[in-house]
Amino acid sequence: MNQRRSLELKIFAMIGAFCAVAAAIVEYYPVTVPLQWVPYETTFQKAKQENKLVYVDVYAEWCGPCKLMDRTTFANDTVIASLQNDFIATRVNIDDERTGAEVKKKFNIQAMPTSLLLTAEQIEVRRNVGYMNASKFNDWIVETTTPEFMSWDSFSSSLTRAKTENKSVFVLVLQDSLKLDELQKSFGNTEIKRMIKRKYIPTLLLNNVPEHREIIKKYTLVPSVDFIGCIYTFSPTMELEHTLPLRNFDAFRLDILLKQFIAEAEHPI
């Protein structure tokens, strides 16, 4: 009887010890809640509703670096918290016949993994091609500031506001979104934002976005392929006022150019 009692006590002691060890493991090594990916089909509507940027992970089942990011980067608590709280996170399998083909063509995807940051209007803000560990990913995504262009009106809304507020329309036309990250440095400049806001209602048109392309054709705004883009200003009745072709200026030179252009438009000789 005593031996049986002694065995039971040992068993209970072992169970207690096991539970204590398990609790300690959970405390020091908490179970990570998996990253919740939003279906691509509903991503941009959700981004509009929550006024957030969209993060898109473009991957392939056969891609080794993609699988490594799944096991490490996307399992990191800091990465998960950032994507869940500050962005709308989605992912696209490049080999999917519908969504994968659409994304590959629209954003010119050449290799995997590709990380994209897009506005709710599907305008590319920046990208990274290749593997990023958690530290590099966090640095990359934290560096992303909300683009000034996100606060700009759509083309139709800018026309309506221009008439209502008796201002001119400031139209930035680009061949594609690849230069937006660089241009953000200038258009995000406090003084330039103030100068534009004083006289203009700004809007952005990208020649590789179908809806924008129709507007560009209608108003004959397509810039020369020798330039990265062009700035047009129109009166509230859509009469062309001024034009500024944009070449590959560095940020400092572009700042000077924009300030000079706006100042001359405000005070013509």
- pLDDT at position 7, please? 53
Q: Closest Cα to residue 229, out of 155, 173, 176?
A: 173
Distance CA 200, CA 183 (A): 18
* β-strand pairing of 124-129 with 114-118: antiparallel
Q: For residue 31, give Cα distances in angstroms to 1, 27, 34, 77.
A: 43, 9, 9, 10
Mean pLDDT split into 10-residue runs, the chain, 269 residues: 56 51 44 84 94 94 96 95 94 96 92 93 87 94 74 90 95 83 82 92 88 88 72 92 81 84 74
Q: What is the set of domains in the chain, with CATH numbers? A: 40-142 (3.40.30.10), 148-266 (3.40.30.10)
* β-strand pairing of 168-174 with 200-206: parallel
Strands ordered across the beta sheet of 87-93 = 87-93, 53-59, 114-118, 124-129
Tokens describing residue 2? 């005593």
Q: Which residues contact 83 (CB under 8 A, 6 or more apart)?
A: 35, 55, 89, 141
DSSP conformation letters of 19-43: HHHHHHHHHHSPPPPPP-PPPHHHH
